[in-house]
């Protein structure tokens, strides 16, 4: 079963403009077209979009996502390279999470300070 760009936009919470941009940038080189020329997304395309969003949301640049997709399209000869890209990216995400945790700790400290200050002023 195929999905229109509007249906995919609704399912993925991405705009049609974003989907077109991803296609233009080479992130979706495998999207079929209907006889009338409309994009015809398949379930496997939604899985790709999920990965693209995951990588983008965790800070991977579009250029590198495009590289990963290009490597995937080349087949199993690129498995080692792709694995290394994901290992490196995982380390970056772990570092981001540690930095976010430090920031969250600081915010919690300020909330505790204000909780105490508010109780004293009552």
CATH number at residue 27: 1.10.1660.10
Query: In the predicted model, what is the mean pLDDT of residues 67-90?
Result: 97
Which residues touch 65 (CB under 8 Å, ≥6 apart)? 27, 52, 55, 56
- pLDDT tens digit string along 5-30? 999 999 999 999 999 999 999 999 99
- For 33, the domain range is 5-120
Give the residue from 29, 120, 116, 12 showing the smallest Cα distance to 69: 29
Instruction: Output 98 or 34, whichever has higher pLDDT.
Output: 98
Determine which helix (DSSP H) or strand (DSSP E) holds 95, and give its type and residue range: helix 79-120
Share of the chain above pLDDT 90, in %: 93
22 φ/ψ sector (left φ>0, alpha ψ -120 to 50, else beta) = alpha
Q: Does the pLDDT of residue 1 top 70, yes or no?
A: no
Q: Is 41 helix (H, G, I), strand (E, B) or coil?
A: strand
Read off the pLDDT band of 120 (50, 70, 90).
confident
Total domains in the chain come to 1
Token pair belonging to 19: 């989907």
CB atoms within 10 A of CB 60: 20
Predicted local confidence at residue 121, as pLDDT:
77
Predicted local confidence at residue 26, as pLDDT:
92
Question: How many whole angstroms separate alpha carbon 44 and alpha carbon 50?
Answer: 10
Which residues touch 16 (CB under 8 Å, ≥6 apart)? 5, 6, 9
Token pair belonging to 11: 């399912």
- pLDDT tens digit string along 28-67? 999 999 889 999 999 999 999 999 999 999 999 999 999 9
Q: Does the pLDDT of residue 80 top 80, yes or no?
A: yes
């Amino acid at each position: 079963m195929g999905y229109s760009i509007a249906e995919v936009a609704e399912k993925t919470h991405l705009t049609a403009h974003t989907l077109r941009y991803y296609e233009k940038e080479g992130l979706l080189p495998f999207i079929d077209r209907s006889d009338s020329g409309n994009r015809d997304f398949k379930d496997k395309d939604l899985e790709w979009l999920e990965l693209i969003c995951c990588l983008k949301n965790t800070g991977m640049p579009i250029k590198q996502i495009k590289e990963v997709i290009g490597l995937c399209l080349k087949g199993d000869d690129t498995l080692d390279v792709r694995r290394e890209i994901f290992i490196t990216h995982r380390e970056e995400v772990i570092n981001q999470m540690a930095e976010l945790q430090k920031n969250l700790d600081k915010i919690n400290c300020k909330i505790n300070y204000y909780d105490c200050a508010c109780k004293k002023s009552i």
